[in-house]
Amino acid sequence: MSRGGLLLCVSLSLCGADLAEAQTAVPTPSVAPASPEFLNHYNFHLSADALSSDDDRFSWQTHFGGDLDLVDYVAGRLNFLADYEAVLGHEFRRFDPNQGNYTLEGSASARVRETEIAAMFHHVSRHLADRPKRFAIAWNAIGVRGLRRFAAAGSTVDLQASAARVVQRSFVDYTWTGDADVVMRRPVNARVGVFALGTGQLIGVDPAIASRGMQRAGRLEAGVRFNGRAAGVDLFVGFERRTDAYPTDRAPLHWAFAGFRLGSQ
């Protein structure tokens, strides 16, 4: 990997502190098979973050989901991704789930040398738990994503960037989204490694709806990974700034966090 490419990746990860939404769910990079294959690659994740927030609606943030290659046709692949996020506070009880957010995405890609370019359809819906809400909070977006994995001096760097136009929305004022993620991993030995992650997102809005401008959010984390035969666990700390943290409030919040994430190899 060139020095310029490495500097680009580091710059994007640092920008993530100010730009992106919560942890972005994206397909994981995969290696092209020698011939077309069916259901040949998958990845799952389960995570929980303890949040340092003065707002009693935000104590824990959890994610569960994964992505699956339905068909890999060598020149590209069809991928399906699903992620469920539950946010817990302590308003009514010690562990009080107050919102559940669903992300569903389908994509079709083409491999261009070492880069994968994908067209995607992205859906997000947000719901309250144990609280009244009859109206929908959701949006659909159509866009394009680039994925690439670099190797440099014993480390790997996964980079993705995407842009999408919001084609349907309920309650939200979003018109387009743009985001970038960088994950840098370095093994210490066969069982232990270290990593750093940065995500960044810009959200364009319709100012006529809520009288506000473009939104920015971001997440940075660093930690240690312990690898087993079929899965691994990440232990990490970090900082996050999140756009529209509560579904019915058009306001960003930020917090420090510490957490763990289980994932497939």
Minimum mean pLDDT range among 25-34, 47-56, 83-92, 150-159: 25-34
Based on the structure, what is the number of domains in the chain? Answer: 1
Positive or negative: CA dihedral 102, 106, 112, 114: positive
| Residue 121: how many other CB atoms lie within 10 Å | 15
Range of the domain at 115: 3-264
Q: How far apart are CA 232 and CA 227, in angstroms?
A: 4
pLDDT digits (tens, 9 = 90+) for 227-236: 998 889 999 9
Maximum CA pair distance of the chain?
55
Q: What is the CATH number of the domain that holds 259?
A: 2.40.160.40
Q: So what's the pLDDT on residue 9?
A: 36
What percentage of the chain exceeds 90 in pLDDT? Answer: 78
Main-chain phi, psi angles of 156, to 5 degrees: -120, 145
The tokens describing 47, both together, are: 């995570």
C-alpha to C-alpha distance for 168 and 116, rounded to whole angstroms: 26
Nearest to 148 by CA among 6, 68, 8, 29: 29
